[in-house]
Homo-oligomer: A and B are copies of this chain.
Amino acid sequence: MIERRDVFQAIADPTRRMIIQKLSRGPQNLAGIIEDFGISRQAIAKHIKVLNECGMVSVTPKGREQVCEVQLAALDEVNDWVAESRKLWNQRFQKLEQFLEDTSSK
């Protein structure tokens, strides 16, 4: 098992995805995030830790609060990977077309 703490893993958990969407509406401190979630503060804190470690959420101390801000740019990596897969898929058909062209022109 290789060391994993990347964006893909970050968005794998539904609770973390909900946190990301909540933070997309604006920064919140931990207490603010906890609302609406039926789990403990510590559980949320752990999720924030994961999101922070992979660059999805920045955490800035402000007095006794920890202000969390989502960093959506981190999701580019996901989009890029999906785009790359689609590109490979399309290249496949282009190669097939090329082959059919070459064959029929003989």
Residues of A within 8 A of B (CB): 2, 4, 8-9, 11-14, 17, 20-21, 24-26, 70, 72, 75, 78-79, 81-82, 84-86, 88-89, 91-92
Contacts and interface: CB of A to CB of B under 8 A. Distances in A.
Q: How many copies does the complex hold?
A: 2
Contacts of A26: 92
Contact of A81 (B2, B8, B17): B17
Given A25-B88, A79-B79, A85-B24, A11 B8 contact: yes
A92 B12 CA distance: 25
A82 B79 contact: yes
Contacts of A85: 20-21, 24, 70, 72, 75
Contacts of A92: 24-26
Contacts of A14: 2, 4, 8
A95 to B, nearest CB: 9
A85 B12 CA distance: 15
